[in-house]
A and B are shown apart, each in its own frame.
Chain A
């Protein structure tokens, strides 16, 4: 990552961590600068979320040290980090209003007092207003759109005034409009100085547009700007699959080579398949065009 004159916000120093005796991540050395906007990519189960969880000290470390803002994580004091979970993991039938969910992020301010203080209410109102959902405080979280729901969890993460915002698959399972809203909102927060790290499966729609990407597969395979590290070789090593990177007019497109290879194999075993496949596609194209014209 491009160094700045200030020390990095997050430092992984030869970290190996995991659950039980089996490490999920090994020998991780990583610096995240202040104000960075980082995407973590890799296949399922290779430690993307574990990397994030290591930054908040809830993953057993087997070796090495993680520091956030110069303080070692996991030594009792909690780093000022906000966490946004995957929307798919939220229980949407839980009886909680927007304000109740956001206030969870301030649970440790007067933890023995169940009622929100006037300062709590002011903080919630200010934050909801800033995130564009100021009028929704008393609504149940189930009754919101996907973009609004994501903003609620962003507000919960931000109400503790974090230095670092961690988002686990923020665009997973959401529609295109919501994804667009979420990414724009994160870009705005980053422009205001917030350091953001997110995990994503979406190489084309999300990772390719971020300034810095970390590729992991049990360890760090590569890190850098998508222009530098999105190559057939690096992505192939990260995903253990054949991927092809196409660059055109400044855009990066990552394509899965598997369907192409499948078609080649089918054509080899079923002579005439390729011809029939193209005819079928042509028919579909005509039908789609016909529908669009009506």
Chain B
């Protein structure tokens, strides 16, 4: 028992555990909107964009969170504005803005090789190097994003489900979209030191996709995804200590394993035996439901 509790004796581990749990919950919560709005590529792109901002912040000697945060917010707004113009598709807009930002970061690093190692944490995550400041930022961001999602639950749901009709019912889509982009950018900036640029997209997408398989209700999906993200962060850090594997990678691999297990269970539960298939009330099904034909 004492052996299992051993890592809790270290402050860096306790801080890392708390940070990973909060980041898991945060990414799980906002990830529901990311996958339902088909914005997975934005999550991936913004994390790369923020990396560019982090490097620039280092070069001009300003606080990491201020530099990366501003860069992330501006990138999110630029993506929104470019995509709304219509001639350039949203996917192309994301590609242009985020890869250019990432390239700025890479160019600056290659120019000044002395600080290459400092950015390994940003690229691959280093949860066990989390500082008290990081913890405060992660905690505050989690609280703010949670308040945003609760307060804007109704318009966000409407806009996510039916973006063309929501404005007809009075939803101010421009305001809600912009606030959501800012919340997503804040999530990525706060998470970057924990899971790293390369793995943030996974923490946004995997718990929410797993939750989607567990429920057909939007409200329950948010709760399940938040819990799955938080649980994966908590257990993933603990496993990474004992397995001596990168913390970000362990969290993502655990989330992926849960996704595979849930997929298999759902597939087995929904699978019909040949007898069940042959004894379906076919006439009733054909006349009662045509949703599959759409």
Interface residues of A, Cβ cutoff 8 Å to B: 53, 56, 58, 78, 81, 83, 85, 87-92, 94-97, 100-101, 103-105, 107-108, 111-112, 114, 140, 142-146, 149, 160, 173-175, 177-178
Contact with A along B112-144 (1 / 0, CB 8 A): 000000000000000000000000000000000
Interface residue from A87, A100, A143, A174 paired with B218 (Cβ < 8 Å): A100
Min CB distance A55 to B, Å, is 10
Contact flag A105-B169 (CB < 8 Å), given A85-B164, A100-B217: yes
Pair B294/A92 contact, Cβ less than 8 Å: yes
Most chain B CB within 10 A, of A95, A111, A146, is at A95
Q: Which residue of the partner chain A has the closest CB to B286?
A: A175
Interface residue from A90, A107, A111, A145 paired with B288 (Cβ < 8 Å): A145
The segment out of B97-105, B152-160, B251-259, B272-280 that lies at the interface is: B152-160
Taking A91-B161, A97-B216, A114-B150 as given, write out 13 further A-B residue pairs in contact, using a Cβ cutoff of 8 Å, ordered by the A residue number.
A78-B170, A81-B168, A95-B36, A96-B217, A101-B161, A104-B154, A104-B162, A104-B169, A111-B154, A140-B217, A146-B290, A160-B169, A174-B290
Interface residue from A83, A143, A145, A178 paired with B165 (Cβ < 8 Å): A83
Contact flag A107-B154 (CB < 8 Å), given A95-B212, A95-B218, A145-B289: yes
Pair B291/A149 contact, Cβ less than 8 Å: yes
Min CB distance A181 to B, Å, is 12
Min CB distance B278 to A, Å, is 22
- Contacts A/B (CB < 8 Å), 17 sampled: A58-B168, A78-B169, A95-B36, A95-B217, A96-B157, A97-B216, A97-B217, A104-B158, A107-B155, A108-B154, A108-B169, A143-B289, A145-B289, A146-B290, A149-B291, A174-B290, A177-B287
Contacts of A160 in B (CB 8 A): 169
Give the contact-size bracket for chain B: 20 to 34
Most chain A CB within 10 A, of B153, B154, B171, is at B154
Min CB distance B290 to A, Å, is 5
Contact flag A111-B155 (CB < 8 Å), given A95-B212, A177-B287: yes
Contact flag A56-B168 (CB < 8 Å), given A100-B157, A112-B151: yes
Min CB distance A112 to B, Å, is 5
Contacts of B165 in A (CB 8 A): 83, 85
Interface residues of B, Cβ cutoff 8 Å to A: 36, 150-151, 153-155, 157-158, 160-162, 164-171, 212, 215-219, 221, 287-291, 294
Contact flag A96-B154 (CB < 8 Å), given A104-B169, A107-B169: no
Min CB distance B87 to A, Å, is 12
Contacts of A88 in B (CB 8 A): 294
Expressed in whole angstroms, the Cα–Cα distance for A178 and B166 within the complex equals: 25
Min CB distance A160 to B, Å, is 8
Q: Which residue of the partner chain A has the closest CB to B150?
A: A114
Majority SS at the chain A contact face: loop
Expressed in whole angstroms, the Cα–Cα distance for A53 and B167 within the complex equals: 10
Pair B153/A114 contact, Cβ less than 8 Å: yes
Min CB distance B113 to A, Å, is 48
Contacts of B166 in A (CB 8 A): 104
Contacts of B215 in A (CB 8 A): 95
Min CB distance A34 to B, Å, is 21
Contacts of A100 in B (CB 8 A): 157, 217-219
Q: Which residue of the partner chain A has the closest CB to B170?
A: A78
Min CB distance A4 to B, Å, is 27
Pair B294/A173 contact, Cβ less than 8 Å: yes
Pair B289/A144 contact, Cβ less than 8 Å: yes
Expressed in whole angstroms, the Cα–Cα distance for A143 and B165 within the complex equals: 22
Contacts of A94 in B (CB 8 A): 36, 160-161, 218
Expressed in whole angstroms, the Cα–Cα distance for A286 and B36 within the complex equals: 52
Contacts of B288 in A (CB 8 A): 145
Min CB distance A115 to B, Å, is 9
Pair A175/B290 contact, Cβ less than 8 Å: yes
Expressed in whole angstroms, the Cα–Cα distance for A112 and B169 within the complex equals: 16
Contacts of B162 in A (CB 8 A): 85, 90, 104
Most chain A CB within 10 A, of B161, B215, B218, B287, is at B161
Expressed in whole angstroms, the Cα–Cα distance for A200 and B84 within the complex equals: 29
Nearest 9 pairs of A and B residues by beta carbon: A114-B153, A140-B216, A107-B154, A145-B288, A78-B170, A104-B158, A83-B168, A56-B168, A112-B151
Contacts of A173 in B (CB 8 A): 294
Expressed in whole angstroms, the Cα–Cα distance for A96 and B166 within the complex equals: 15
Contacts of B290 in A (CB 8 A): 145-146, 174-175, 178
Pair A107/B158 contact, Cβ less than 8 Å: yes
Pair A95/B221 contact, Cβ less than 8 Å: yes
Contacts of A174 in B (CB 8 A): 290
Contacts of B289 in A (CB 8 A): 143-146
Q: Which residue of the partner chain A has the closest CB to B38?
A: A91
Expressed in whole angstroms, the Cα–Cα distance for A42 and B253 within the complex equals: 55
Q: Which residue of the partner chain B has the closest CB to A104?
A: B158
Q: Which residue of the partner chain B has the closest CB to A77?
A: B170
Q: Which residue of the partner chain A has the closest CB to B289?
A: A145
Contacts of B164 in A (CB 8 A): 85, 89
